[in-house]
Amino acid sequence: MTLEIITSQSLDPFRHGFFTRRGGASSGVFAGLNCGAGSSDQSEIVAINRARAAEAIGVAPERLVGPHQVHSADVVTVTETPLERPLPRADAMVTRAPGVALSVLTADCQPVLLADARAGIVGAAHAGWRGALDGVLDATVDAMVALGAARSDIVAVIGPTISQAAYEVGPEFIETFVDADPENARFFANGPGDRYLFDLPGYGVARLRAAGVAAEWTRHCTYSDAARFYSYRRATHAREADYGRLISAIRV
């Protein structure tokens, strides 16, 4: 099966893609293009999958780089590859280095690709609820500006992520967001009983636009489309032992 890659004209002319799970070498619960070295999948198979993604983006495997994701607001500026080991603990990267592809791994969290075509600067961010609330998207935009990008020229696209209809949370969750900013109540809808439904991509788009950049969501839900996407929450509900990770990447 060939790779399936979701792209956005908003990020042209940069080569980029939000990869689905289709076209990979993994099997079992990881069936497809699992690119998560942190999963319990066979490391050799994950390397094959990552190499396929790198080839699709047009770089050598060692030039497809990503951070050790920790749900932080930390951003790394990449000037050369390969990256030193251990990988930097962060959740976003920016670069203006030709031939370097930045990547993030997700399985419900937001994969966000950013670009300033005029300045030749790109970014990639992993934004779950914690990272988004703590400011990883704002920090990524700031890091791009520090490299020479202009906020008015930056475009951000949020790829496949869990949709509001599938993201049920408890009352303590909404309190965390409303305590940070009462306006955040608008990203929650009533769910069953005392539960709420959280609009993660809507929140991400709002944070990006508040940071002064154009932003959009591809409107793909990871939870509801098992044939195309991995989902941590879906795997948890199914009581599966582990789950695959989707890769999203962009290069200068």
pLDDT per residue as tens digits for the range 154-169: 999 999 999 999 999 9
Q: Report residue 86's pLDDT band, with 50, 70 and 90 as the boundaries.
A: confident
**Taking a C-beta distance cutoff of 8 angstroms, is the pair 36, 108 a contact?**
no
Q: Report residue 139's pLDDT band, with 50, 70 and 90 as the boundaries.
A: very high
Q: What is the mean pLDDT of residues 7-36?
A: 97
Task: Provide the angle, in degrees to the nearest 10, between the axes of the packed helices 200-210 and 136-147.
Answer: 40
Helices and strands (H, E) in the chain, number of each type? 6, 14
> What mean pLDDT value characterizes the chain?
97
- pLDDT for position 80: 83
Q: Report residue 85's pLDDT band, with 50, 70 and 90 as the boundaries.
A: confident
Order of strands across the sheet that contains 64-65: 5-6, 16-19, 246-251, 101-106, 64-65
- Which of 80 and 211 is assigned the larger pLDDT? 211
Helical segments of the chain, H only? 43-57, 129-134, 136-147, 171-180, 200-210, 232-237
Q: Report residue 125's pLDDT band, with 50, 70 and 90 as the boundaries.
A: very high
Order of strands across the sheet that contains 75-78: 75-78, 92-95, 121-127, 110-116, 154-158, 214-217
Phi, psi dihedral angles at 111 (to 5 degrees): -90, 125
Q: What is the mean pLDDT of residues 106-116?
A: 98
Question: Residue 225: is its pLDDT beyond 80?
Answer: yes
Question: Residue 82: is its pLDDT beyond 90?
Answer: no
Q: CATH code for 5-163+199-251?
A: 3.60.140.10
Residue in the structure block whose two tokens are 């967001």:
177
